[in-house]
Structure 1
Amino acid sequence: MKTIAPRLWHLVLLFLAVTGALLAGAAPSSAHAALTGSDPRQGAVVETAPRSVSLTFSEDVAMSGGAVRVLDPAGKRVDTGKVGHPRGTTYTVGLHSGLPDGTFTVAYQVVSADSHPVSGAFTFSIGAPSKTSAVLADQNAGGGVVGGLYGFARYVSYAGFVLLVGGAAFVLGCWPRGAALKPVQRVVVGGWTALTAATLALLLMRGSYTGSGKLGDVFDTTQLGQVLQTKTGAALTSRLLLLAAAALFIAVLFGAYVKRAEDGDKKEVKDLTFGLAIGGAVVAAGLAATWAMAEHASTGIQAGLAMPVDVLHLLAVAAWLGGLTTLLVALYRTPSIEETAVRRFSRVAFFSVVTLAATGLYQSWRQVGSWSALTGTTYGQLLLLKIGLVAVLVGIAWISRTWTSRLSASVVRQGTSEKKEPVAVGGGAKSAKSAQSAKPGKSGAADPTSDDVPGDTVTSDDPKRAAQLARQRAAMATARAKRARDADPHRFGLRRSVLAEAGVAVVLLAVTTVLTSTEPGRTEEEAKAATSAAQTQSGPLSLKLPFDTGGKDGKGTVLLDVDPGRTGDNEMHVYVERPNGKAFDVPEVKVALTLEARKIGPLPVVPDHIATGHWSASGVQIPVAGDWKIAVTVRTSDIDQVTVTKNAKIG
């Protein structure tokens, strides 16, 4: 049979490839808050300078000093730097007085309620549009090298949590004897180390990740102090405190617990198991809550219900995937594992999958909300990929359960309950006896009666040679035990199916990590809807205005079209017809737009004569949506003219 090293190496390569491919797409655009409106609106032309600029987002955001900057046409800052929060998800920044006419640039960089950075910019004009020399600094929040490192640290933190919680749960709930085995201990301790290191890295990089995006700012103590005052900073700090408690849990599990089990004190072992289970459950739930309180579950609808559901979801993931990893290590790195342990984990995995299905269904409804968001957004597509991977994982798990059912009690077990030392799986008595023959005697030499390494005579005068022979015999005994263990086809099949499960789990965890940094489908669609509402289109506007100047040939009708009839740039066409419907020319046609509710206007429009009875004007600016009064002045002679008006909703 092939050795485990190539398989583990392939698994590591798969891990790196999937992680790199998925995290490479984690750009700043994955933020979860969107700008849905502003005053002045994007591209608007206002007659007088506003006193402030307001921005409305799809959810609450966190703003620091300089989060919103307003630059004049020359690129000079004209905002006061103080951001207000008058209502809801609207934020304002004051402007200095005496602003010149021209185009102004508004740049913002904030942090969404679920901890992800958001940045962007838009322009508006005072009086009339103009050229602008405003230059925005690189907005690398959430991107660049720091963004990539931050995303990788998030993946490591999830993986560490899965190994720590799932490994410990596997030992306490399925395989208590595994607590004394070094390979199993390495899984749990490795999970704790990975989670602790990743959490420290996230805390240090947080300020740069949501700010400048520069690697040199990672060790800026000022930024670190600001991070500690945020919701995400509090979550990461709480996680570190809980990891200190987890370290004590690990010390007791692999120290006092193992010692009591070896001493055979069943009552103390039972009491200690109960205490570790309660304490471990509290610490595990607390660690899961540090994600729930700072990410998706903490924002949006039903946050009070979503956070405990998210905690259950994370715990189920850890119990399943972490236990699976520990089982894989046990199958490859330990001499034996009881059949009962495998069966217990099979039941744990089943209940974990049921919990995942229930909590995942709720989370999917909450984060997606519609079929169109499921198929038409990045979040929905990643969710479909995750569901597919879970289905594959469940299918492989069913194969693993089939192999488990075929294992005989004599192959996958510790041995008889009376024996203190486990018998190597598949090795039988011969393997155990061979292992004993490799042990040195009182003089430090191996037993010379053994025929494991023939042709050598060992004496007490040659201690180096005796030690060498002892190592050789031990290695040969281990190899024989391994061959006998691997000869069982049922165990071989179980190992291969569990290894396949672990490979799919690596991909699944990577997809889940990217999913948590992607804008939820419901939020994305709501943001699009809100943005669309902010630039509402009523469709091309057509008005019919009869007129009578009172002079000769002074009666007719003005037909006015505004296309596309929304805020921003529009094209206007004016047609003048006689009462019989034929087009005719008049000396002058003028149009004025007034929004009395906002005291905007009248904004004059002087269309150009195109053809008989046809005038046109392009680039007509509608700065804001509202009920506009449209006044058309028609002059039919030097002294005869009339102004006709009609109200129309635009945008």
Structure 2
Amino acid sequence: MRAMTALPRPLVTLLLGALATAAALAGLLAGAGPAAAHAALDTSTPEDGAVVATAPDEVTLTFTEGVSLGADGIRVLDPDGDRADAGGPTGSGRDHAVALRPGLADGTYTVAWQVVSTDSHPISGAFTFSIGAPSETAVDADAVTTAGDDGLVGLLYDAGRYAAYTGFLLLVGSCVFVLVCWPAAATRRAVQRVTLAGWTILTGATLALLCLRTPYTGSGELADAFDLAGLRDVVGTRTGSALVTRLLLAGAAGLFIALLYGAHARLRAAQEAAAARDADGKDDGNDGNDGDRDEAVEDGRARLRDVTFGLGIGGAILAVGLAATWATAEHAATGRQTAVAIPADVVHLLAVAAWLGGLVTLLAILHDAPDTPPGAAVRRYSALATGSVAALAATGLYQSWRQVGLSWTALTDTSYGRLLLLKVALIATLLVVASVSRRWTHRLADAPASRPGEPTDDAAPETVAVGGEGVAPARARQLARQRAAIDRTARLRSRERARGADPHRAALRRSVLAEAAIAAVLLGVTTALTATPPAHTAAAEAAAADSAAGGGDQDRSAGDPLSLSLPYDTGGEAGRGDARLDISPAATGDNTLHIRLTDPNGRPTNAEEIRVALTLPAEDLGPLRYETLHVDVGHWTVTDLQLPRPGSWDLALTIRTSDIDQTTETTSFTIP
């Protein structure tokens, strides 16, 4: 076990260098635009900037998807900055509310909110509304909006996520390499070090993420990582449950590692020794008629088969369980087709682990003993990597369609799409380098693998013996140090001779090293992808922002009638359709508004109530609210619509189709 506790210095240097490179790249990409998450605030009551005549009983917020929030997830502050809400927030899913204290005075109130979306990312924001009339306020909306995913906490959390992915790849990939590609590698200390490093990194990073979760989704203060009450709340969330499950599975994985490199490795070594003795006996002319020995050998082989089969089944269960702790708590768990997306994400993660984790294992073996592993083992890994890449491509294409859709704009104009393009480019580069490695693999000569510590044919420099009863302790220690230095020099010389003895292996080692470096950067980009909102969501938000900015009617002349179209969905059985709005003459002063509702088949359809509100944000005017007059089936009108000033107006159309089914759709138009 002492030999397993230290990683080779070159491997440590490689891993740390790759981590720094990928972290820098992820930081650069993250800095290219503001951080965002999958969910966003859809509507609120009162609306942002609204002026209400009397104080409402509560403030309600509706998000684009289900979110969770803590006790202070919604705060309402009066003009002096004091709390105006009463009790904690209520609600679930998309809709949440907080009650207000009775008897609130007139003035401007600030609503600050912070929630966690289904894909585990925190989001926050603030808006204002006024009672009676707007007033001066002592509240800075930016100051009261906490952002735990920024600053040091955000950096540490992202580093922890990268480390957790890295640990998973090393742990699973090295074990798959042993069980599938080269079972004799279970006795190699280089492989044991890779597995132990993966387990240690995964366990430590998961524990760190669990502690950082409270400040990451809350105040952003690093000291809150040690808040036991916050930790208790985190454990009750989807992400917290996934992290706790990952810790438990990591504990079970520790037992698996002990069996793989303990009992399994000993049985494997015993079988190899028995096979060697049997071969020596035949070479010496013995017929091997010892029945007891043959029975013992066969019994050992049976036990080895049973242990290997059990480790394969148990390892597969652990690997799938570990991968599921990511799939059930991140992007795959939100959006469409989650029943397919979650298993696809598990397969995606396992394919990456088998490919890249096995790659690092192969690199560690080639560095530790350049004359191993045998060519057959390398070819088996090559076949495994090919299958993993095929699974990776299939699941990756599906996830890309799911998160990006079929829009080229969503791919090129969003952070998620650009990161995805960068990931594809890195994978393509990695496959080119892997094809070079594959060519060298087929050229390998199957030279017999040397056992750890086995002397080479070249005689090592003569060692210094330490013995004799009259040797002083100081002299004995000096002689021991000299002997260790001579042995170390002999090993290094033997390693260098082995490297130069087979140029094919040397070339393979260089190409695998290049693959590992690219894979480290690829892992950084993948980590950044999981923290970025899906492209289809970002594209939809951008389109909505463009529509709110003017909607393309800026070139319309004054006095020209204006037509707007709004799809709506109140959520009821007959709640879907389209609303057409005709404003005439669409100029400053008196106007007439006609509203016509049609169902998805184009037929006129009715609603229980239609309301209209107009706002001119540039001049803080509004909202101007109007009641509609029902004219005919699917037709309402407002005859006294006032547009006192030119500019870009926001129109909010509220449609209620039943006592509980209602929606508010917004658009904008320009009055020249």
| TM bracket, shorter-chain basis | 0.7 to 0.9
Matched, 1:493 2:530: no
Matched, 1:348 2:384: yes
2:577 match: none
Q: Residues 372-424 of structure 1: CA distance to partner in whole angstroms, max 9, x if unpaired?
A: 111111011001000100100111000000111122223xx416xxxxx4798
1:232 match: 239
Moved more, 264-273 or 298-307: 264-273
CA contact (8 A) 2:187 2:269 kept: no
Q: Residues 6-41 of structure 1: CA distance to partner in whole angstroms, max 9, x if unpaired?
A: 796466334313313414665872322111222222
Q: Distance in 2 between matches of 1:37 and 1:535?
A: 18
Over aligned residues, Cα RMSD in angstroms?
Answer: 3.5
Letter in 2 for 1:303: T
Label 1:571 to 1:508 Cα distance change in 2 as closer, same or farther (>3 A): closer
2:524 match: 510
Letter in 1 for 2:20: L
Identity over aligned pairs, percent: 46
Matched, 1:81 2:87: yes
CA contact (8 A) 1:536 1:625 kept: no
Matched, 1:64 2:70: yes
Q: Distance in 2 between matches of 1:76 and 1:597?
A: 42
1:270 match: 305
CA contact (8 A) 1:26 1:151 kept: no
Letter in 1 for 2:236: Q
1:561 match: 587
Letter in 2 for 1:386: K
Letter in 1 for 2:222: L
Letter in 2 for 1:341: A
2:431 match: 394
1:144 shift after superposition: 1.6
Label 1:606 to 1:230 Cα distance change in 2 as closer, same or farther (>3 A): closer
Which of 623, 626, 640 aligns to 1:594? It is 626
Q: Distance in 2 between matches of 1:473 and 1:161?
A: 38
1:44 match: 50
Q: Distance in 1 between matches of 2:394 and 2:641?
A: 61
CA contact (8 A) 2:163 2:202 kept: yes
Moved more, 317-326 or 257-266: 257-266
CA contact (8 A) 1:44 1:567 kept: no
Q: Distance in 2 between matches of 1:624 and 1:104?
A: 21
Q: Residues 542-573 of structure 1: CA distance to partner in whole angstroms, max 9, x if unpaired?
A: 7799xxxxxxxxxxxx966159999421799x
Q: Residues 448-471 of structure 1: CA distance to partner in whole angstroms, max 9, x if unpaired?
A: xxxxxxxxxx9xxx9778756754
Q: Distance in 2 between matches of 1:650 and 1:19?
A: 41
Matched, 1:242 2:249: yes
Q: Distance in 1 between matches of 2:618 and 2:476?
A: 100
1:484 match: 497
2:164 match: 157
SS at match of 1:434: coil
1:519 shift after superposition: 0.8
Which of 457, 465, 470 aligns to 1:432? It is 457
Q: Distance in 2 between matches of 1:187 and 1:620?
A: 61
CA contact (8 A) 2:366 2:509 kept: yes
SS at match of 2:457: helix
SS at match of 1:124: strand
1:295 match: 330
Following superposition of structure 1 onto structure 2, how do residues 140-219 of structure 1 map, counting pairs within 5 Å? 140-219=147-226
Matched, 1:328 2:355: no
Which of 397, 403, 409 aligns to 1:361? It is 397
Letter in 1 for 2:456: S
1:525 shift after superposition: 2.5
CA contact (8 A) 2:559 2:586 kept: yes
1:106 shift after superposition: 1.4
1:18 match: 22
CA contact (8 A) 1:593 1:603 kept: no
2:352 match: 317
Unaligned ranges ≥5, structure 2: 1-7, 272-299, 562-583, 594-612, 631-637, 656-666
SS at match of 1:106: strand
2:574 match: none
Label 1:538 to 1:70 Cα distance change in 2 as closer, same or farther (>3 A): farther
Moved more, 118-127 or 378-387: 118-127
1:606 shift after superposition: 9.3
CA contact (8 A) 2:113 2:145 kept: no
Q: Distance in 2 between matches of 1:538 and 1:55?
A: 29
1:376 match: 413
Label 1:502 to 1:528 Cα distance change in 2 as closer, same or farther (>3 A): same
Matched, 1:260 2:285: no
Label 1:72 to 1:336 Cα distance change in 2 as closer, same or farther (>3 A): same
Q: Residues 50-107 of structure 1: CA distance to partner in whole angstroms, max 9, x if unpaired?
A: 3322222121100121211122323232222332327x62222222333333322211
1:175 shift after superposition: 1.3
Label 1:324 to 1:206 Cα distance change in 2 as closer, same or farther (>3 A): same
Q: Residues 94-123 of structure 1: CA distance to partner in whole angstroms, max 9, x if unpaired?
A: 223333333222111010111110001112
CA contact (8 A) 2:123 2:147 kept: no
SS at match of 2:112: strand
Q: Residues 212-266 of structure 1: CA distance to partner in whole angstroms, max 9, x if unpaired?
A: 0101111010101111111111111111111111001000011101111122132
1:617 shift after superposition: 3.8
CA contact (8 A) 1:142 1:210 kept: yes
Matched, 1:625 2:633: no
CA contact (8 A) 1:45 1:623 kept: no
1:593 shift after superposition: 6.2
Q: Residues 550-609 of structure 1: CA distance to partner in whole angstroms, max 9, x if unpaired?
A: xxxxxxxx966159999421799xxxxxxxxxxxxxxxxxxx9623489xxx999999xx
1:133 shift after superposition: 1.6
1:585 match: none
Which of 343, 367, 370 aligns to 1:308? It is 343
Q: Distance in 2 between matches of 1:393 and 1:538?
A: 45
Label 1:344 to 1:596 Cα distance change in 2 as closer, same or farther (>3 A): same
Label 1:278 to 1:385 Cα distance change in 2 as closer, same or farther (>3 A): same
Letter in 2 for 1:15: L
Q: Distance in 2 between matches of 1:33 and 1:383?
A: 20
Label 1:603 to 1:624 Cα distance change in 2 as closer, same or farther (>3 A): farther
SS at match of 2:518: helix
1:523 shift after superposition: 2.0
1:129 shift after superposition: 2.8
Q: Distance in 1 between matches of 2:537 and 2:134?
A: 33
Matched, 1:385 2:422: yes
SS at match of 1:53: strand
CA contact (8 A) 2:626 2:641 kept: no
CA contact (8 A) 2:112 2:145 kept: no
Unaligned ranges ≥5, structure 1: 416-420, 425-429, 446-457, 546-557, 573-591, 608-615, 628-648
Letter in 2 for 1:19: A
1:202 shift after superposition: 0.7
Equivalent residues, number: 555
Q: Distance in 2 between matches of 1:309 and 1:106?
A: 40
Q: Residues 320-343 of structure 1: CA distance to partner in whole angstroms, max 9, x if unpaired?
A: 010000000000012521111111
Q: Distance in 2 between matches of 1:493 and 1:139?
A: 53
SS at match of 2:81: coil
CA contact (8 A) 1:170 1:323 kept: yes
